[in-house]
Amino acid sequence: MFSENAIKVLEKRYFLKDASGKPLEDAAALFKRVANTIASVDKKSSAEEVAKLASEFYDMMIKREFMPNSPTLMNAGKKGGQLSACFVLPVPDSLEGIFETCKNAALIHKTGGGTGFSFSRLRPANDPVASSCGVASGPVSFMTVYDAATEAIRQGGTRRGANMGMLRVDHPDIELFIAAKRETDRLNNFNISVAITNPFMKALAEDGEYELIHPSTGKPVKKVRARAIFDSIVENAHATGEPGLVFIDRINAHDPVRLQLDDEGNVIAGTEDIEATNPCGEQPLGPGDACNLGSINVAQFVDESKRDFDWKRLEKTVKLSVRFLDNVIDANTYPLQFIASATLNNRRIGLGVMGWAEALIKLGISYDSEEALTAAESLMQFFQTTAHAASRELAEKRGAFPNWQFTSWHDKGIKLRNATVTTIAPTGTISIIAGTSSGIEPLFAISYVRRVLGGTELIEVNPLFEKIAKERGFYSVELMERIAREGTLKHVDGVPEDIKRLFVSSHDISFEWHVRMQAAFQKHTDNAVSKTINFPVEASCEDIEKAYLLAWELSLKGITVYRDASRQSQVLNIAKTDPLKKADSVSVSVTQTDTTKEHSVCAVTPNASSSGGLLEDSKKCSSKIVAGTVTSPPAVPAEAVDIANISNRQPRHDTKLVGSGPATQAQFQSAFRGAPKKFQSDACPECGYQSRSLVKYEACLMCVSCGYTKC
């Protein structure tokens, strides 16, 4: 039922273990542990009803129909089990407050959670500090402190710490913030995003100026041209993938718990202003709030004979999932009391989807088509309607969330158990467990190379593609080899055109379709949508500009772009190579950015998609709209590349084709084990695999080889 890769991920990250590291449970035991823990908090139910509910929770997880966020799978049933994925912590403008928040973040990271921060309340760098007769360090300086603290924490030994750092576009230090990750060895435990305001976007549209506001006094300090700030954002995003963009005023306008003031500044409704999001940007939260996420594997609900979803079965699972996530709030052990208060007062949950790309394939619909957009809207509207109905039912039985009386839901006479109900979240690791495609992303590749124990490399083929290829009679070992080498079907002969059209991968799809797909899901989602807008390495800043203008036009709450190899290309110019050729037939050109000297070396890595180089001078990269929140593997300075070591690598072990019988060494011999980690910036930092197994999905890095994720 679970794939070999899923079992490996579960064993490494999720199973309970004894003191020696030996697993104490299998998949069935894990999901029983989680189901029993989450069902047990149904205080108003009888023992028989709790047992029945636990059985239903177990069934939908063991059948890979629903998965909660990773901390719930890891920690449910443990002493002091912290079950939430997302937290936002306030950062006050005092030395004591800044370091208290840093300590709190460390405690959260230890339990497996990710943290978001707005540094917008901190006074700008070099601002006088009366209490010490000195000057302020500024937001970027303290972000560096938080980054170092995160580096020292490994989330319970199972997840690496992840942070979101945000700064308002009207903060006096905004230019320093925008360039904070230009040096790619800095802030590698942070995604950073600019919180864009409506006045900024208005000034940008009019090619005018806007005011930078001192956070302590609330008074303007100077005016700057919106275009200059905007161009700086885009240049950095094009070069490094960051900073990202979050439309903070739009987010607050749609928040039911938003603070509302009368003309004299008195609070008339609401309890919060949202200043930040979780690390991947899909969950806006007020200070101290947390959220529990879960995703339904919609590919499991396609009735292929009818080319439609099994809506009745899906409805039942959506309602059961809402109940599951609401129970998580009560089963949770919160790391800090103020987080418990904020979370219990709002009871936010975030139910979303995964397996969307595979669902479309089963429906016979190409991802980049009007039909797919229509299907996305229909599906998410059904999700939203059904999930809200479930939350209303729970409110009638258990009561509305405590802050309900201060919200727009109260004004509308809608009694809900949860302030927000739906979110499209990253599903990197849980989608591996569920054996499906990630979130609402298209397929990253039709096949890829995966390393298993002992160094054996497997060419893993998408099971839907393999099934269709065999049914249609065009399957062969040689064809699978070519597809693994190319990473896409676009230039592979021997595949029927209708199949190429159906099995499109992320880099086959133009940015317009990526943005429109995100917008289709956002239209019926309470919170936000995590999605990566992929670009090829040769994409221009003008391309990125068009994507973000479309995102603003289509009312997205935030947006993420990633230009293929953008971080890597700062250091290396790696020509496209054949990963399955012998070493003596391959030459890779490595160009250092600080010189014009090229080194021809015998090194190759099997790429799931082609990697390009620096095709465009950064001086040409003056553009007009923003990039979204992304996480990228740290690049290395050019001088760190060890050419001698690269050329001395040894041949790989045999590579085999999954599910296709034995393959000879001659057929699948890879050229080298790969360059050292410091050479290949897209290597997985955990398993060290060099084959572009570390892919960008929903602003989150995920290794398809070992299940590593940064989020």
DSSP 547-572: HHHHHHHTT-SEEEEEETTTTGGGT-
8 A C-beta contact, residue 236 and residue 541: no
> Among 70-74, 136-140, 182-186, 603-607, where is mean pLDDT lowest?
603-607
Mind telling me the catalytic residues? 278, 280, 282
Give the Cα separation of 103 and 108 in Å (integer).
Answer: 9
Beta strand pairing status for 114-118 and 163-168? Answer: parallel
User: Average pLDDT, stretch 474-499?
Assistant: 90
Residue 298: closest CA among 240, 224, 361: 361
Alpha helices, DSSP H, located in 241-310: 248-253
Q: Which two tokens stand for residue 76?
A: 């449910």
53-71 tens-digit pLDDT: 999 999 999 999 999 999 9
- 86-277: CATH topology: Anaerobic Ribonucleotide-triphosphate Reductase Large Chain (3.20.70)
pLDDT at residue number 651: 32
Of the listed ranges 46-50, 59-63, 540-544, 660-664, the one predicted with least confidence = 660-664
Interval 329-341 mean pLDDT:
96
What's the whole-number mean pLDDT along residues 373-386? 98
Residue 520 has pLDDT above 80, yes or no: yes
Q: In whole angstroms, what is the distance from residue 97 CA to residue 103 CA?
A: 10
- Predicted structure pTM score: 0.83
**What radius of gyration, in Å, describes the C-alpha atoms of the chain?**
25
Q: How far from 609 is each of 362, 597, 605, CA to CA, in Å?
A: 24, 26, 11
pLDDT, mean over the chain: 81
- Rounded to the nearest 10 degrees, what angle do helices 511-522 and 370-398 cross at? 30
Q: What are phi and psi of 676, to 5 degrees?
A: -60, 160
Residues facing 296 on adjacent strands: 66, 353
Higher pLDDT, 572 or 171: 171
Distance CA 354, CA 156 (A): 26
Parse the chain into domains and list their residue ranges.
Answer: 86-277
Half-sphere exposure in the Cβ direction for 688 (13 Å, CA): 8
